[in-house]
Structure 1
Amino acid sequence: MTQTPESLSHALLDAARKAGADAADAMVAEGSSLSIEVRQGTLEHAERSEGVDLGLRVFVGQRQACVSASDMRAVTLTAMAERAVAMAREAPEDPYAGLAEPGQLARDWDLAALELFDASAEPAPAALQEDALAAEAAGLAVSGVTQVQSAAAGYGTHKVHMAATNGFSGGYQRSSRSTSCTAIAGNGTGMERDYDGDSRTFQADLRSAKDIGTQAGERAIERLGARKPETGSYPVLFDERVSSSLIGHLLAAVNGASIARGSSWLKDALGEQILPAHLSVTEDPFRPRIAGSRPFDGEGLATQRRDIIDNGILTGWTLDLASARKLNMQSTGNAARGVGSVPSPSQWNIALTQGKDSRADLISGMGTGLLVTSMIGSTINPNTGDYSRGAAGFWVENGEIAYPVNECTIAGNLRDMLRSIVPANDARSHLSRVVPSLLVEGMTLAGN
């Protein structure tokens, strides 16, 4: 009989009980992927992978341990359980560890409404290669592009099932389809590189390979002749390509694990104004065809739509069971986990309220400043929110883009930055983080 992720997860629970575990949960992930990369009109790399990963977490009293394997034989399941129980007996007690109570568990969900899996036929390798070649050709067709570093296309499926001795059992299947291109313009020390790509759940939603290649080429051309900007205090506009990183720092600061450790610059800010009063940050795990959607979290609790920031006010933390117990709160259904790791808090699909003005309107109104389109490195103080990152993009003078810039550093404090952000209206709705371009006044730039 074929072993499915569901049957394997329940077999792991049986093995754990026999080995002496007081409680246990299991996760089994089965996946396959196919990727094609081309260079100079020929196949550069082709890879297909398939595999099944098994994870088991056991509890002996308030002690826990995790083990994982990629072998589905019965003898391996038994060995995993015995090893996990032996490890748990030697582990220190954790008063916050434990499974959810049966009354906390997700019971009903509508997988069809989430549209996580594209049931159309898996693309043939030749079709993926055709897309990669089309992206490369489009990039090279842009005047001034000297080479395409890489062009690739890929497809993957992922099936996961979770089960636990508290009665939970559930799973789902995902698919993904992607195309990407990295183009290079110029020669020698004057070379510049840029990228474009798209990844979707459904093949039909994917942007055309030609569009992706053309966009990558045009972005590379725009970066030619970059120089350092002036040092000083200027407004900074974070392009939609990078603006989600700012909200990402906010999300990290409201993570329950950081709050419980006391290592967050927002640890005492519950109920305070964090963003301008007209802006909210909403988490919605039920958006169809989106990579971050899911019906339940990594501990079997129902996911939920919630406003993390409601009209500028911080309303709560992102919690799994352990962090919720440490803070004497209730889990928000945000436990994420891998096959071989314990759960930890994480957000699902995030959206920031969009503004009324376009990115062009914000550029026009910012006078002199910096439009950031890419960033490297990161120095973020988790306790104070002090922020410093390397940046590149375009210098703006008199409300118009004047020339490309690179090798500069932007710095500020996240609390001050977020309280003054002005959003554009250009967020891409198919992303898991829907965040428009964001204007921040008065950041420190270090350039010339």
Structure 2
Amino acid sequence: MTSASRLPAAEHAQLDQLQNLVADCLREASHQGATDAEAGVSMETGLSVTARLGEVETVEHHRSRGLGLTVYIGQRKGSASTSDLSPAAMRETVAAAVRIARHAAEDPCAGLPDPDWLATEFPDLDLYYPWPIEPEAAIELAVACENAARRHHPEIVNSEGASLNTFQGLRVMGNSLGFLHGYASSRHSLSVAVIGERGGEMQRDDWWTVARDARDLQAAAEVGRVAAERTLRRLGARRLGTRQCPVVFAADVASSLLGHFVGAIRGGNLYRKSSFLLDRLGQPVFPDFVQLREAPHLPKALGSAAYDTEGVRTTPHHLVRDGVLESYVLSTYSARKLGMRSTGNAGGVHNLILEPGELDLSGLLRRMGTGLLVTELMGQGVNLVTGDYSRGAAGFWVEDGVVQYPVEEFTVAGNLKDMFGTVVAVGNDVDLRGNTRTGSILIERMTIAGN
């Protein structure tokens, strides 16, 4: 979250206008009969460029804005939104939300957060680095990225294209409890996917880089090189017979395992009793060396925020300490349903960090000995009610700690409760490109369904 005092004059003036709009919206909601209200408004701009085989495929400028409003009449709730920020449209949106609330059923858990949960301090999280790149320069970067991949090796024979995307925006939210705050943020990325061929067999892979500040992106040539190397190493893939063995999830796919964990401790799934981790608070869910924490105030990080989408302050805390589940992931509503208090997670988690161990990926493979390295997951075969896990995958077969050959067209299966409980080690090869930061994860044993 970037301090308003550091914004350029034009963005500062826009932020003031948006704050005034939210304040006017809240006053209008009260005038029309709402007992409480919360509103949020955003203005976003960006550029997207895609090039394929050296030619421009798309150049798109993005510009969007929107106002969202939730009103309460007692404990009846109504919501409405609009992309028209004019005063007349704002009043009509308020009227629509109030009409909905008047016809809604009473919900004893509905309402704004408790006032003492709201954020009152707003550190500068260094999130705003607009990138005023011209379309011509963006095209050059995308083409250079793709060329680096295509020219890396003769077996790279085709491309799915390279894309460059920029985003910068302003957001303001407020509620009738007196909370009103806005901030600016940015996010930029560059990606490429290419196809390799050997002996009539084709494989594809990709690579990408993302950052708040364009200066923190990997170089275009480096992104292309990595994508090409990832594609080449998949050529000659074999199929596996069905077996049970240890599995290493590479860092860039291991984050999905933590996503399933967060889903299982999310308040909505808990109060609906649709989670395999129901009633596990205070109990071991991982081995005792596992530490999983939320760090919402990291400067420049992609998940940083001083407050959640309800204005509730975020705080650094452990979800799992020494393997024991210490915290759920709760919004105001789900917290009230469970008789608890919000954890500041309306809208999701903020910079989820699995503390790394001492081994890099090569060290994890040596510790595993013989087993499977998973580098790609496909499909959605995850049941959070039972914990059953079954997904299509691709990767590499490992013997004596050394990669032997690529493998494909198999399913990796188990139960998430067992998988989390039998984590053997976490690597120090942490992937920093998203809201979840984790190294590769070694699991003691899973079922591989192949030929």
Measure the CA separation in 1 of the matches of 2:410 and 2:336.
Answer: 43
For residue 106 of structure 1, the aligned residue among 105, 109, 119 is: 119
What amino acid sits opposite 1:443 in the alignment?
M
Aligned to 1:215: 226
Per-residue deviation, residues 147-198 of structure 1 (Å, max 9, x unmatched):
1211011211021100111111011111111110001011796211101001
User: Is the CA contact (8 Å cut-off) linking 2:291 and 2:321 kept in structure 1?
Assistant: yes
Q: Does 1:426 align with 2:429?
A: yes
Measure the CA separation in 1 of the matches of 2:200 and 2:87.
Answer: 59
Q: Where in structure 2 are there 5+ consecutive unaligned residues? A: 1-12
Q: How many residues align?
A: 436
Q: CA deviation at 1:262?
A: 1.0
Q: Does 1:183 align with 2:194?
A: yes
Measure the CA separation in 2 of the matches of 1:154 and 1:322.
Answer: 35
Measure the CA separation in 2 of the matches of 1:244 and 1:263.
Answer: 22
Identify which range, 186-195 or 170-179, moves more after superposition: 186-195
Instruction: State the SS of the aligned residue for 1:249.
Output: helix
User: Is the CA contact (8 Å cut-off) linking 1:334 and 1:347 kept in structure 2?
Assistant: yes
Q: How does 1:106-145 map to 2 (within 5 A)?
A: 106-111=119-124, 114-118=125-129, 122-143=132-153, 144-145=155-156
Identify which range, 66-75 or 421-430, moves more after superposition: 421-430
Q: How does 1:275-314 map to 2 (within 5 A)?
A: 275-314=286-325
Aligned to 1:340: none
User: Is the CA contact (8 Å cut-off) linking 1:146 and 1:187 kept in structure 2?
Assistant: no
Per-residue deviation, residues 307-349 of structure 1 (Å, max 9, x unmatched):
000010001211111111111111111112xxxxxxxxx2111
User: Is the CA contact (8 Å cut-off) linking 2:252 and 2:431 kept in structure 1?
Assistant: no
Aligned to 1:201: 212
Q: Does 1:69 align with 2:71?
A: no
Q: CA deviation at 1:378?
A: 2.1
Q: How does 1:364-383 map to 2 (within 5 A)?
A: 364-383=366-385
Aligned to 1:89: 102
Compared with structure 1, are the counterparts of its residues 424 and 104 closer, same or farther at alpha carbon in structure 2 (3 Å cutoff)? Answer: closer
What amino acid sits opposite 1:104 in the alignment?
W
What is the TM-score when the length of structure 1 is the normalising length? 0.94
What amino acid sits opposite 1:366 in the alignment?
M
Sequence identity (%)? 38
Instruction: State the SS of the aligned residue for 1:126.
Output: helix
What amino acid sits opposite 1:284 in the alignment?
A
User: Is the CA contact (8 Å cut-off) linking 2:247 and 2:372 kept in structure 1?
Assistant: yes
Instruction: State the SS of the aligned residue for 1:406.
Output: strand
Q: Where in structure 1 are there 5+ consecutive unaligned residues? A: 337-345
Aligned to 1:47: 60
Measure the CA separation in 2 of the matches of 1:101 and 1:133.
Answer: 52
User: Is the CA contact (8 Å cut-off) linking 2:295 and 2:316 kept in structure 1?
Assistant: yes
Aligned to 2:401: 399
Aligned to 1:358: 360
Q: How does 1:244-283 map to 2 (within 5 A)?
A: 244-283=255-294
What is the TM-score when the length of structure 2 is the normalising length? 0.94
Measure the CA separation in 2 of the matches of 1:301 and 1:294.
Answer: 10
Instruction: State the SS of the aligned residue for 2:414.
Output: strand
User: Is the CA contact (8 Å cut-off) linking 1:381 and 1:387 kept in structure 2?
Assistant: yes
Instruction: State the SS of the aligned residue for 1:357.
Output: coil
Q: CA deviation at 1:15?
A: 2.0
Aligned to 1:240: 251
User: Is the CA contact (8 Å cut-off) linking 1:149 and 1:183 kept in structure 2?
Assistant: yes
User: Is the CA contact (8 Å cut-off) linking 2:38 and 2:174 kept in structure 1?
Assistant: yes
Instruction: State the SS of the aligned residue for 1:49.
Output: strand
Per-residue deviation, residues 32-66 of structure 1 (Å, max 9, x unmatched):
11011111212110000112111010111111011
User: Is the CA contact (8 Å cut-off) linking 2:198 and 2:236 kept in structure 1?
Assistant: no
User: Is the CA contact (8 Å cut-off) linking 1:198 and 1:207 kept in structure 2?
Assistant: yes
Measure the CA separation in 1 of the matches of 2:113 and 2:156.
Answer: 56
User: Is the CA contact (8 Å cut-off) linking 1:367 and 1:398 kept in structure 2?
Assistant: yes
Per-residue deviation, residues 69-128 of structure 1 (Å, max 9, x unmatched):
1011221111111111111111111110101233322112112xx111015x51121221
Measure the CA separation in 2 of the matches of 1:199 and 1:252.
Answer: 24
User: Is the CA contact (8 Å cut-off) linking 1:290 and 1:430 kept in structure 2?
Assistant: no
Measure the CA separation in 2 of the matches of 1:348 and 1:103.
Answer: 21
Q: CA deviation at 1:14?
A: 2.1
Measure the CA separation in 2 of the matches of 1:367 and 1:297.
Answer: 43
